[in-house]
Structure 1
Amino acid sequence: MGVRIGNLLNRVAGAAVLASILLVVSTGLAIWWTARQDSRPASDAIVVLGTAQYNGVPSSFFEARLEHAISLYEAGVAPVIVTVGGRAEGDEFSEAEAGRAYLAAGGVPEDALLAVEEGVDTLESMRVVSTAFAERGWASAVLVTDPWHAMRAQRMAEDSGIEAESSPTRQGPAVQTRATQFRYILRETAAYLLYRVTGESVAGAPGIG
C-alpha cells in the first residue's frame, strides 16, 4: 500500500514539474511571438513606455523607442504621442519629460505630445496612462517598447482598461545579439508569470521595466 502511494505521489510530482516546464516554455514562446508582431491600427494615442534617462537625455533603449514612436506618428497611426514614467530618486528630469523633449526636438508638434510624469514600473505606468485616457475620452493605444517587453506591457494596459496593441522597436540594445535577446526573454518570462500569479509588477533592468 505504501509503495502504491509513493508511486502515485511521484507521478503527481512529476506531472506538476512537467506542467511547470510547459508553462514556462509556452510563455517564453508567446513573448517571442508577440515581439515579432507589429500591430499599428488607427488609435487615440501612441504610448511610449519610459526607461532610463540621464539628466534629460534618453538612454539608448529609450531613444530606440522614441524614434519608433516618431515613425508611427508620421505614418498617421495616432494624433498624439504619450510619454510615461516618473523620476528616480535624485533625478532632475522624469522619464516622461525627457521623452517629450526628445520628441519635440525631433519635430513632433507640442500639441501632439503628452507627458504623464508618473510610474516607477510598467503596471503603475499603465494605470496612470489609463487615468489620463479616461480624462480625455480616449480608449485605444499603440504601445511602443522593446520587443520582449511588449506582451507584458500589452497585458497590463488591457487590465488597466486600455484597448492596447503593440508595435515594438526593431533597433537598439535589446535586439543587438541573440544572447541579449535570449536573456531578456527569460527575464520577461519570469516577470510575466509573476504578474499573472500575483497581479504585481517588478522593476526590470534598463530596457525592460
Structure 2
Amino acid sequence: MRTRRVLRGVLGAVGLVPAVAVLHSGRILWGGRLRESAPAVDAALVLGMAHHNGVPGRYFAGRLRHAAERALEDPSLDVWVLGGTAVGEELSEAEVGCRELQRLGVPEAQIHPSPEGCDTRGSLLALLRAQPEIQHNRLSIITDPHHMVRARMLARECGLRCAADPTPYCPVTVREKSWWVFLSHEVGGLVVADCAQLAGRRVARRCEDILRAIDGCIRPHRRLRHAQIRSADSAAQRD
C-alpha cells in the first residue's frame, strides 16, 4: 500500500514537469520582452557571459553593444560590467567586457569592472560587497531576454532596485538549437529562484544541485563549471 502511494506521488511529480516547463517558459518569453524605452537610472549593470581568449562570445557581445548605446546616449550613466574568471581563463568577464565597451567608444570614466562571481547571484552579491552604496541607486539590468526575468528576481532578492533593459541584439532565433538550450536553462534557473522565494535559499540550493546533476549528465562539459559555482557558493556561505 505504501509503495503504491509513493509511486503515485512520483508519477504525479513527473506529470507536473511539462506544466511547470510551459508555465515558466511563458513567464520567461513574456517578461523578457518588457523593456522601458529609456530607463531613468544612475547606473547600468551588464551581466557577464562567456568570452574566448578575451573576445566576447555572441551573447556577451550583444549585451555590451546595447550597454554601449545606453552609455553613449547618456554621458552621466555609469556602466558596471559583472563577472568573474571561468575555469581555465586568465581574464575575467568584467575585464573583457570593459575592454569591449572602450572599443565601442564608451569613455573609460563611465566604465567600472566588478570581476567577481561565478553566476548571476554571486556576481550581484560581489558587487554589493565591494560597492554597498550602489543599493541606493536607480539601476538597470542589461542581459538577454531569456535571462531577464530571473536576473531581475535575483537583483531584487539582493536588495537592488532594478529596471529591466534586455538587449535587442540577442544573436539567436527560435530556429536555432541554442535558443532552446538557453530557454531550458532559464526554466531551471527560474524554478530555483521560485524555490528561494517560497521555501528559502537552503531548499533552493538542493533543487539547484539536482538540476545541475541532470544538466551534467546531458552536457558533461558543464560539470567543471558547476563545480566552480558550488565552490564559490560554499566560500560565500563561510564568509
Cα distance in 2 for partners of 1:51, 1:181 equals: 15
* Compared CA separation, residues 11 and 51, structure 1 to 2 (3 A): closer
The correspondence for 2:188, drawn from 165, 168, 190, is 190
Higher relative CO (CA 8 A, sep ≥ 6), structure 1 or 2? 1
Q: What pairs with 1:87-166 in structure 2 (closer than 5 Å)? A: 87-136=85-134, 138-166=136-164
- Residue 31 of structure 1 pairs with residue 28 of structure 2: yes
> One-letter code of the match for 1:194?
V
1:148 to partner: Cα distance: 0.4
Q: TM-score, normalised by structure 1?
A: 0.80
1:47 to partner: Cα distance: 0.7
> One-letter code of the match for 1:199?
A
* Compared CA separation, residues 87 and 173, structure 1 to 2 (3 A): same
Between the aligned residues of both structures, percent identity stands at: 29
Extract unaligned runs of 5+ from structure 1.
none
Cα distance in 2 for partners of 1:170, 1:68 equals: 7
Look up the SS of the partner of 2:30 in the other structure: helix
| 8 Å CA contact retained: 2:128, 2:134 | no
* Compared CA separation, residues 101 and 190, structure 1 to 2 (3 A): same
Q: Which moved more, 1:123-132 or 1:60-69?
A: 123-132
* Compared CA separation, residues 98 and 163, structure 1 to 2 (3 A): same
| 8 Å CA contact retained: 2:172, 2:178 | yes
Which string of whole-angstrom CA distances, capped at 9 and with x for unpartnered residues, describes residues 134-193 of structure 1?
245643221111110111111111101111122112224343736543332222111210
Cα distance in 2 for partners of 1:129, 1:194 equals: 22
Cα distance in 1 for partners of 2:157, 2:125 equals: 9
Which string of whole-angstrom CA distances, capped at 9 and with x for unpartnered residues, describes residues 23-79 of structure 1?
332211010002211134211211111011122221122111100101122333961
Look up the SS of the partner of 1:199 in the other structure: helix
> One-letter code of the match for 1:55?
N
Q: Which has the higher helix share?
A: 2
Look up the SS of the partner of 1:127 in the other structure: helix
Q: TM-score, normalised by structure 2?
A: 0.71
State the aligned residue count.
201
Look up the SS of the partner of 1:120 in the other structure: coil
Give the root-mean-square deviation of aligned CA atoms.
3.1
| 8 Å CA contact retained: 1:43, 1:77 | no
